[in-house]
Amino acid sequence: MLKKVLCAIVLMLITVVPGRAELKVDIIAGAAEPISIAVQKFETVGDVSNKAAAMIRQVVEDDLKRTGLFRIVNHNAFPEFVKMGDMPNFKLWSAIKTQVFVQAKLYAEPKNEYKLEFFVWDVNGREQIEAQALVASKKSARRLAHIMADAIYERLTGEVGYFDTQIVFIAETGPVHKRVKRMAIMDQDGFGLRYLSDDDSFVMSPHFSPNMQSIVFLSYYNDDPMVWTLDLDTGEQRRLGQFGGMNFAPRFSPDGGKVALSLVKNGITHIYEFNLETKELRQLTFGNSLNTSPSYSPDGKKMAFNSDRSGRQQIHVLDLETGEEKRITYGNGKYATPAWSPDGQFIAFTKMADDTFYVGVMKPNGKNEKILAGGWFMEAPSWAPGSRRIVYYETEKHMDGIERVSHIRSIDITGQNVYDIELPDGVNGVEPTWSPKLP
C-alpha cells in the first residue's frame, strides 16, 4: 500500500490592487471568446534549475488552456521581458492582443523548499489585479503550479479553482475477459498516478471524504462484497461494519460524519446511512424496489438516488429531514448515478436511451435537462470543485466486438472543452471521482 503524502503549502497575500475596469471571463457561454494570457519566463534566484522553472510555467499554462476559457499567447510573440517589480509596457502587450500578463520569480529557499512569487496584470485596465507568494518543498513543485493556476483562474472567473485536486479511480489492466482492477489516484491532469490497492483485491466505487483524509470504496475481499475505508495518510484499510448483507455504492456525507450505502437484505436493495461516530445504521428507503447510487446535496439535507419503483430506473430525491421522496426524471430512457454539484445548482446523471449512454446535468427538480456527451457506454459523472467541470468514463467498443478501451474524460457544463486525462499505456480508467481541493 502506497502512503499518501500531502505537502502543506503556505499561501501569503502580498498585494492586490482593486481593479477599476473588472476583467472577467464569461464561464457560462459555451462559445465565449477565450481570454488571451501571456505567462512570462520565470525569473530564478539561488539554486533553481531552469528545468524546474520551465516545468512550473508549462503546468500553469496547460491548466488554464484545458479550461477552454484562455488562449496562451505564443512565447515567440512576446515584445519584452519585464523584471519583477517593473511595470509592463501595456501598449506593447496590447499590440499583440494580450489581455492578461503574468510574471513570476522562483526562489530556492532553505530546507529544500521553493518560494514562488507571481503578479497578474490586466493589460487593458493597465493595473495589477493579483499578487501572491507560495512556499512548498521542491518535490511539490507541481502543486505550486496548480495553486498558481487556481489563483489566476479564480481571479478571472470568480469561481472556485480545481487544478490543485486529485482523481481516484479504478485502473483496469489485462485482457477484457480477465481484467485486474486496482484502485489508483492521480492529479487532475493525470500526473503522479499511483496505486492504492494490490492485484489481488477486486475493488469498485471509490469516493473521497470531504477532508481528503480517507476514501470509501467497495471491496470483494475474500469474495465478500463489503464497504471499506482507506486512510490516505497511513494506508490502513478498515471494513465499515457488519451489516448482514451485500453492501455497495458508498458516499460520504458533506460533513464527513456519515456514509450512505446500498444494502441488500432479503433480496431487496435499500439505501442506508451509517453514522461513523455512533456506529448506528439508519434505513432511508423502503418498499420492494431497488434503490441505489445515493448522492447527498451539499447542505446534507437531501439525497438523490436512483430507483426502479416506477417500473423503470429513474432518479428520485429524498428529504432527509421529513422522509419525503419525489421522482424528478420523466424523460425517455433510464436514469442512474446521480451526482449533486458542490454548489447545489445541478445534478449530473447517466442516461440510457435508444441503445446509447449519455452523461448530462439537470436542475435538482429535474428541469432543464442538458445532455453533455453520448456514446456506446459511459457512466459515473463526478464534479470538480466549483461545479463547472465533470469527470466521467467512456468505454469504446472496438470493431472486433471483444476489446474494450475505457477513457477518463472531463467536460464542462456547457458540453464544450472535452479532453481525455492521459493514462499510462495499457491502463483503462473507470469510475473516476474528483476530489475536493487539497488541504
371 plus 422 within the same structural domain: yes
Rounded to 5°, the CA angle 414-251-436 comes to 55
- Is 201 domain-assigned? yes
Taking all residues of the chain, what is their mean pLDDT, rounded to a whole number? Answer: 91
- Is 2 domain-assigned? no
- Is 103 domain-assigned? yes
Q: What is the pTM of this model?
A: 0.92
Q: Which helix (H) or strand (E) holds 362?
A: strand 356-362
Of the three residues 157, 187, 218, the one that is the final residue of a domain is 157
Give residue-wise pLDDT tens across range 135-190: 999 999 999 999 999 999 999 999 999 999 999 999 999 887 888 999 999 999 99
pLDDT of 401 reads 57
- Is 5 domain-assigned? no
Q: b vs e for 107-132, b when ≥16 Cβ sit within 10 Å of the residue's Cβ? A: bbbeeebbbbbbbbbbbebebbbbbb
Strand residues in 63-140 grouped as ranges (E):
70-72, 100-109, 113-122, 127-137
210 plus 126 within the same structural domain: no
> What CATH number has the domain bearing residue 121?
3.40.50.10070
Cell numbers 488552456: residue: 65
Residues in a beta bridge with 12 = 133
Of the three residues 124, 157, 190, the one that is the final residue of a domain is 157
130 plus 274 within the same structural domain: no
What residues of the chain score a pLDDT lower than 50? Answer: 1-21, 31
pLDDT of 403 reads 67
Count up the domains in the chain and report the number: 2
> What CATH number has the domain bearing residue 408?
2.120.10.30
pLDDT of 400 reads 62
pLDDT of 224 reads 84
Short-list 50, 70, 49, CA closest to 60: 70
- Is 297 domain-assigned? yes
Q: b vs e for 214-249, b when ≥16 Cβ sit within 10 Å of the residue's Cβ? A: bbbbbbebeeebbbbbbbbeeeebeebbebebbbbb
- Is 47 domain-assigned? yes
| CA atoms of 142 and 88, how far apart (whole Å) | 27
214 plus 325 within the same structural domain: yes
201 plus 307 within the same structural domain: yes
Of the three residues 157, 175, 205, the one that is the final residue of a domain is 157
Pairing state between β 356-362 and 370-375: antiparallel
254 plus 274 within the same structural domain: yes
Give residue-wise pLDDT tens across range 83-113: 999 999 999 999 999 999 999 999 999 999 9
89 plus 208 within the same structural domain: no
147 plus 173 within the same structural domain: no
Domain containing 131 equals 10-157
pLDDT of 21 reads 42
